[in-house]
Structure 1
Amino acid sequence: MDTLTDDLCYQALKTRDARFDGRFYTAVLTTGIFCRPICPAVTPKRGNVRFYPSAETAMANGFRPCLRCRPEAAPGSPAAAGVHTTLARAVRLVEEGALDNGSVAELAERLGITDRYLRQLYKRHTGATPQQHAQARRLLRARQLIVDSNLSMTEIASIAGFGSLRRFNHSLKAAYGNAPTAFRRGIRQSSAPSMPHPFDDPFLPARDDLVLFLQARPPFDGDALLAFFRARAIPGLESVGDHYYARAVHLQGKPGLVICRPLTDKPGMQVILRGPARNAILDISARVRRLFDLDADLPGITDHLACDPLLQPVINQFPGLRVPGCWDRFEFAVRAILGQQISVAAARTLAGRLVGRYGVALPDDLIAGTGITHRFPAPEELAGQAVGQIGLTRSRADTLARVVARFAEPGFAELDGNTLLQQLAALRGVGPWTLSYMALRGLGDPDAFPATDLGILKAAARIGAPDNAKALTHHAERWRPWRAYAAQYLWATLATQSTRQETR
């Protein structure tokens, strides 16, 4: 735990400070149970607790998850973020199931390091081995799916990475002290969503839909995120209303529809999965968390940014503001190229033409009543196509073709963020604005800052900050490592945010 001392953790525990939820976990020696810092249980004595940076680490050290505060439902832990680029990627791959059917040696080879070094790196920074992390992740995700989804136990066992239902039942009972069905009887039924016929409202859960609930750290302004995505929704691919964001997806070779609805009673999202792609629930869950920036420790970020008196009034004006992410790196790279030097509305029109011409149509029974018609084309499907026919200039079409060709290369989209940006920077037509915007939304870099963006420069001038890129970049040094959030606050000050120009 690089930024939190044990004493600070105990103070946060005594006050049940929600700002620390997901940042550490408290293990109680006398009970063998670990909890979130917001747990309503009686605060244990200082000498009886140990603090861990992640739920997986606590489980690897022999502690069982609390049944009251549900550690598996806590916002994502930032324990490994920023510690080591290779480790961060390893943690992400393990959480996506790299060890469910593969070995540590295969994971290490994928990362370009030895398995011995991977184990050392993992143990040093997380306190657990990759196998321990993977096993704990299976248990945590299994209980989350039991309580927060409407999947059957057999489906959950398969999705969570257990080889059989028997192994699933045995592992859950050993870890939690109860059979899996006990959690659904005790918790799930009281929160089951209503299931209207899909044609009554296609954006509400239907009988055969999979429904998942994802929590966010408060404060969370879901309406602002919906407004942002509504202005940029690609016709045919996305649909955004007052209370939902919906889009076509294509995962594991199968089509699907994902509908995200901000929760009304607590910070977070209700996620509705429809169609064959719903079996990729873990991948979808991770993508939705990035898309809506659910794991951001916003109080900590805003406390830091508010030290600049120029930003403080803006932060107070927009509580709960997040940095919108993206669904897919390739899709966002195409969006960024299309958005160069034109308005948001114009870029949206071009993207709609591209999806309509080159996207793959979805089954009628999947998209009925939604206005969604196609999924976004894959890189290999778009490579070699005459993309200029959608209304691009020759130079812009050439740039897009070069970007598509790179993403069509095996493994390119999985490169670490810095390497991917370096590769894109070598392409003619990909300049600083595109790279910064790709880093900010496409890669989720919390410190990305497109200083040449005209909207940011205009907003900076309004609050009294420098109005030229060089001086603003120098001023923004005080906002590190959260310059992406500073950029979002600056954009929010523009009265015409939904139709503003994002350009270099």
Structure 2
Amino acid sequence: MNEDSRYEAVRSRDARFDGAFFFAVSTTGIYCRPSCPATTPRRRNVAFFPTAAAAQGSGFRACRRCRPDAVPGSAEWNARADVVGRAMRLISEGVVDREGVAGLAARLGYSARQVQRQLNAELGAGPVALARAQRAHTARVLLQTTALQAAEIAFAAGFASVRQFNDTIKEIYALTPSELRAARPGKGTRFGPVAPPSTPGVLPLRLAFRGPYAARQLFDHLQRRAVTGIEEVSGEPGARTYRRTLRLPHGAGIAEVDEAAGDGWLDCRLHLSELRDLTTASQRVRRLFDLDADPYAVAERLRADDVLARLVDRHPGLRSPGAPAPDELAVRAVLGQQVSVAAGRTLGGALVAAYGESLPEPAGALTHLFPRPDDLAQAALTELGMPESRRATLRTLSTALVDGTVVLDAGADRDETERALLGLRGIGPWTAGYIRMRALGDPDVLLTGDVAVLAGMRRAGAPTAGLRERANAWRPWRSYAMHHFWNAPVTEPAGPRPTTTESTGP
């Protein structure tokens, strides 16, 4: 996009671009999301920014009407594999708050000065400013959904002092923390409140997404794979709730997400033993539910294929689920080798029962945290009904995760990680690719040998010969193409594809 097309998106209040860029108005000193319902400013008074932090760094405060800090994240950071994309994923995980800029740079394999320079050059804001914007958003959520004291919120959001917290809130929102709490949006606003006020011990969130959202298919996916002890799905289709335990940097947590989607958000409730884990927990849930995806860009590319076009129109907004814990996903991928989904789920339950860490108090069917790689690296694993060769693969993988041979954090280099995985005995292309797709959130993975993908292609009437060459036209969204084939109906009607009212953008 150029500045003219961005302005057209602002004029049409196009929510498809919320989070992809922000605009600020020089005459008011306010920055907004593209879909802000306020009167469209004159073009000469508008400036555009790639991030909220860049707008804040230029002296603009957040609009109280459209709440630009509550938009979905940009899908660009998931698609990009360069240092800027990797840095953005790590910053969203809270790495700068926990480890500083030096820790971020060390994870990326660059000097702190190089990281600072690249982020400033491309985004107009460095890692400290980007992390500061995220802390401010976390603080606003806590101010407007809990009864916590301001000092508790300051440290839970990651601020170093109450004074820093007060100054930042006033600078970004032009309100004191007390005034911001009193200004909690009501239910009648266009974007809805952040979430209803919480009960003690529960943090309610509304997790934003853009475009259509195929919630039923994603909840079906999670329900079929829910591992006893760490996950459960309750309720009837259309009104289900997914619950799972989370191992977080400072403690344990439980996330609950409702299937019934609001107008652009999923309702989520977090139970955290440490409030400092709020940012990390919410980002991990976002990755699991693929809430930062751009379904418009995916649909535009995949609809160029006649067979995929029918599947895209059948399930608009189909997501590619990620993982709330990359190490866990890698272990579960090995458990699922050469067995059915149901058998892999059974093996996962046995592993959790034998080696998982018990919660201090069970929460319904949730009783454990998934085992750490350290717990499995030297374990006999005889409790699992699987061949010794696969048990040996689990131990080899766990050892590689412990000693750093394989790195699966949010900023990992995907190519390097896949090569490291393929270097482990017992890890083949399917397992390495599946881990890359889900644990590392890569939207452009193609599992050419996946039996279910090939079966879905045949059901949909797509030729399976020359798949790799055919799939080049689906880049950079091949992971989504696979999910469409996995969800292909038993019989796909022939003939012209159905019409759709979705637009592909300005």
TM-score of the pair, normalised by structure 1: 0.89
Question: Residue 9 of structure 2: which of 7, 12, 18 is its match?
Answer: 12
1:488 aligns with 2:492: no
1:180 aligns with 2:173: no
Question: Residue 202 of structure 2: which of 192, 209, 217 is its match?
Answer: 209
In structure 2, how many angstroms separate the alpha carbons of the residues matched to 1:289 and 1:400? 27
Question: Residue 348 of structure 1: which of 342, 345, 349 is its match?
Answer: 345
Secondary structure of the residue aligned to 2:252 is strand
1:475 counterpart residue number: 470
Equivalent positions of 1:7-406 (< 5 A) are: 7-78=4-75, 80=77, 82=79, 85-100=82-97, 102-147=99-144, 151-187=148-184, 207-242=200-235, 243-252=240-249, 254-364=251-361, 366-367=362-363, 370-406=364-400
> Does the C-alpha gap of structure 1 residues 494 and 359 become closer, same or farther in structure 2, counting only changes over 3 Å?
farther
Measured against aligned partners, the alpha-carbon deviations of 1:57-115 in whole angstroms (never above 9, x if no partner) come to: 11112211111110110001245555562222222333333433655345333432222
In structure 1, how many angstroms separate the alpha carbons of the residues matched to 2:146 and 2:482? 35
Number of aligned residues: 479
2:502 counterpart residue number: none
- Structure with the greater relative contact order (CA < 8 A, sep ≥ 6): 1 or 2? 2
Give the letter aligned to residue 290 of structure 2: D
Measured against aligned partners, the alpha-carbon deviations of 1:11-65 in whole angstroms (never above 9, x if no partner) come to: 1111111111111111111111111000000001111111111111111122111
For the Cα contact (< 8 Å) 1:65–1:71, is it kept in 2? yes
In structure 2, how many angstroms separate the alpha carbons of the residues matched to 1:247 and 1:153? 29
Q: CA deviation at 1:428?
A: 1.7
Secondary structure of the residue aligned to 2:425 is coil
For the Cα contact (< 8 Å) 2:357–2:369, is it kept in 1? yes
2:495 counterpart residue number: none
Q: CA deviation at 1:206?
A: 5.3
Give the letter aligned to residue 39 of structure 1: C
Secondary structure of the residue aligned to 1:307 is coil
For the Cα contact (< 8 Å) 1:150–1:212, is it kept in 2? no
For the Cα contact (< 8 Å) 1:80–1:125, is it kept in 2? no
Note the residue ranges of structure 2 that are not aligned, 5 or more in a row.
188-192, 492-506
Q: CA deviation at 1:264?
A: 4.2
> Does the C-alpha gap of structure 1 residues 444 and 83 become closer, same or farther in structure 2, counting only changes over 3 Å?
closer
TM-score of the pair, normalised by structure 2: 0.89
Q: CA deviation at 1:280?
A: 0.8
Secondary structure of the residue aligned to 2:97 is coil
Secondary structure of the residue aligned to 1:311 is helix
Measured against aligned partners, the alpha-carbon deviations of 1:248-296 in whole angstroms (never above 9, x if no partner) come to: 2222353332212245432322222224145411110110010000010
1:502 counterpart residue number: none
Q: CA deviation at 1:495?
A: 4.6
Give the letter aligned to residue 131 of structure 1: V
In structure 1, how many angstroms separate the alpha carbons of the residues matched to 2:134 and 2:480? 29
Q: CA deviation at 1:451?
A: 1.6
> Does the C-alpha gap of structure 1 residues 47 and 268 become closer, same or farther in structure 2, counting only changes over 3 Å?
same
For the Cα contact (< 8 Å) 2:195–2:205, is it kept in 1? no
Note the residue ranges of structure 1 that are not aligned, 5 or more in a row.
196-204, 497-504
> Does the C-alpha gap of structure 1 residues 112 and 72 become closer, same or farther in structure 2, counting only changes over 3 Å?
same
Give the letter aligned to residue 388 of structure 2: R
1:499 counterpart residue number: none
Secondary structure of the residue aligned to 2:24 is strand
> Does the C-alpha gap of structure 1 residues 332 and 97 become closer, same or farther in structure 2, counting only changes over 3 Å?
closer
Cα root mean square deviation, aligned: 2.3
Measured against aligned partners, the alpha-carbon deviations of 1:362-394 in whole angstroms (never above 9, x if no partner) come to: 123x41xx2122110001011111124310112
For the Cα contact (< 8 Å) 2:347–2:385, is it kept in 1? yes
> Does the C-alpha gap of structure 1 residues 433 and 221 become closer, same or farther in structure 2, counting only changes over 3 Å?
same
1:454 aligns with 2:451: yes
In structure 1, how many angstroms separate the alpha carbons of the residues matched to 2:150 and 2:260? 25
Q: Which moved more, 1:406-415 or 1:344-353?
A: 406-415
Secondary structure of the residue aligned to 2:322 is coil
In structure 2, how many angstroms separate the alpha carbons of the residues matched to 1:83 and 1:192? 29
